[in-house]
């Protein structure tokens, strides 16, 4: 039974909310992105002048940097971009609705179809971003459309070359890194401490064994509550390391799990970073 206090749709984007959880606070937003956008909209500056609402937290950004970001002109056409995004969501709902209905003949076929569509959409997004870059759009503008920072946009879609070899860094990425990072996090959330530690490199294993992993997770959830939602993993190359970043929404705060893998596939680092931390 739906609680009368629980809104049926996200209070930021208007999409239907996922099923309620048995524990935790009442969900009002569909994900961390919408929650952050709503928080920015509630800021005093946004209320007084919505067109110049800040996109950064004052306590995470220096005065000069904050001033530059707060006055950055919106050259992407917010109304047009928002309309295009709404059209994309509507098209996706129209396509997926019949596949996800209980009358669908084969749920497994629906999974395969959606997986294939997601792969094509991912490749299309990469091509669209490269087109925008060739047209002179900045990473800040790309990030603004995607609702992420310019650094996150570059990490996800950029193709930097290794200055030592001249080769694209993406060619050095550990295969399947995103899936490995997601599996590690799933073991951690499920309390499978030993399994979560199985790929740790020597330096990490010396500081973080199964027992310490359990203590670390207990402290984290004790400070910011239960984990409510896990975002899409992002893998990118940083020097000799492949980094996997996974957005996490807890009851009282947002974190990003950053897992570093060396060339042998061993975990060389594990951190849970607050928003804005690079």
CA distance 214 to 194: 10
Reported as a single tens digit per residue, the pLDDT across 89-142 is 788 777 777 777 767 667 788 888 887 887 788 788 888 988 998 999 998 999
* Nearest-angstrom CA–CA distance, 38 and 77: 20
Q: Which of 79-83, 216-220, 262-266 has the lowest mean pLDDT?
A: 79-83
Can you tell me the distance from the alpha carbon of 86 to that of 15, in angstroms, rounded to the nearest whole number? 10
What pLDDT shows up at residue 234?
85
Task: With a cut of 70, say whether residue 143 has pLDDT above it.
Answer: yes
For 57, the enclosing helix (H) or strand (E) is none
- pLDDT of 89 reads 78
Q: What is the pTM of this model?
A: 0.54
On whether the CB atoms of residues 240 and 174 are closer than 8 A, the answer is no
- Picking from 239, 232, 240, the residue whose alpha carbon sits closest to that of residue 262 is 240
Q: What was the pLDDT predicted at 271?
A: 94
Q: How far apart are CA 213 and CA 187, in angstroms?
A: 11
Q: How far apart are CA 111 and CA 188, in angstroms?
A: 26
* pLDDT for res 73: 43
SS3 259: strand
State the CB neighbour count (10 A cutoff) for residue 56.
16
Instruction: List the one residue out of 254, 178, 260, 272 whose CA is nearest residue 216.
Output: 272
- Number of alpha carbons in the 13 Å side-chain half-sphere of residue 105: 2
pLDDT at 273: 93
Residue 207's pLDDT is 92
Look at residue 255 in the predicted model and tell me its pLDDT. 94
| Position 69 pLDDT exceeds 60 | no
pLDDT at 226 over 90: yes
pLDDT exceeds 80 at position 202: yes
Q: Among residues 36, 83, 29, which one has the least CA distance to residue 57?
A: 36
pLDDT class of 187 with cuts at 50, 70, 90: very high
The reported pLDDT for the residue numbered 154 is 84
- Residue 25, pLDDT score: 61
Residue 170 has what DSSP assignment?
Answer: G
* Statement: residue 172 has pLDDT above 90: no
**Backbone conformation region of residue 170, classed left if phi is above 0, alpha if psi is from -120 to 50, else beta:** alpha
| Cα-to-chain-centroid distance, residue 234 | 7
Please tell me which residue, 78 or 200, carries the higher pLDDT value. 200
| Mean pLDDT, the chain, whole residue set | 78
- Structure letter (DSSP) for residue 200: B
- Answer whether residue 275 shows pLDDT above 50: yes
Task: Kindly report which listed range (31-40, 44-53, 68-77, 188-197) carries the lowest average pLDDT score.
Answer: 68-77
Q: What does the alpha-carbon distance between residue 40 and residue 52 come to, in Å, rounded to a whole number?
A: 11
Q: Highest mean pLDDT: which of 33-37, 72-76, 109-113? A: 109-113
> Does residue 84 surpass a pLDDT of 60?
yes
Contact 184, 70 (CB under 8 A): no
Angle at 50 between CA 44 and CA 51, to 5 degrees: 135
What is the average per-residue pLDDT within 161-188? 82
CA dist 10 to 31, 35, 39, Å?
Answer: 9, 9, 14
∠ at Cα 262 (261, 268), nearest 5°? 60
SS3 175: coil
């Amino acid at each position: 039974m739906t609680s009368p206090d629980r809104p049926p749709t996200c209070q930021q984007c208007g999409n239907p909310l996922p099923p309620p959880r048995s524990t935790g606070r009442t969900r009002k937003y569909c994900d961390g992105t919408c929650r952050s956008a709503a928080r920015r909209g509630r800021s005093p500056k946004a209320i007084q002048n919505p067109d110049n609402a800040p996109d950064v937290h004052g306590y995470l950004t220096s005065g000069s940097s904050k001033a530059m970001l707060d006055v950055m002109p919106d050259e992407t056409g917010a109304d047009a971009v928002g309309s295009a995004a709404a059209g994309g969501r509507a098209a996706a709902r129209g396509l997926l609705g019949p596949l996800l209905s209980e009358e669908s003949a084969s749920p497994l076929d629906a999974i395969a179809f959606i997986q294939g569509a997601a792969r094509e959409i991912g490749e299309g997004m990469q091509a669209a971003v490269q087109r925008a870059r060739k047209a002179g759009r900045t990473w800040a503008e790309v990030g603004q459309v995607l609702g992420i920072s310019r650094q996150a946009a570059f990490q996800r879609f950029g193709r930097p070359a290794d200055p030592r070899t001249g080769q694209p860094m993406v060619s050095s990425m550990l295969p399947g890194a995103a899936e490995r990072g997601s599996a590690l996090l799933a073991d951690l959330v499920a309390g499978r401490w030993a399994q979560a530690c199985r790929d740790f490199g020597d330096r990490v294993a010396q500081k973080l064994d199964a027992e310490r992993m359990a203590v670390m997770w207990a402290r984290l959830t004790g400070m910011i509550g239960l984990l409510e939602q896990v975002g899409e993993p992002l893998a990118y190359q940083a020097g000799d390391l492949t980094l996997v970043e996974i957005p996490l929404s807890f009851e009282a705060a947002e974190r990003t799990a950053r897992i570093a893998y060396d060339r042998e596939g061993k975990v060389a680092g594990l951190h849970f970073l607050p928003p804005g931390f690079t």
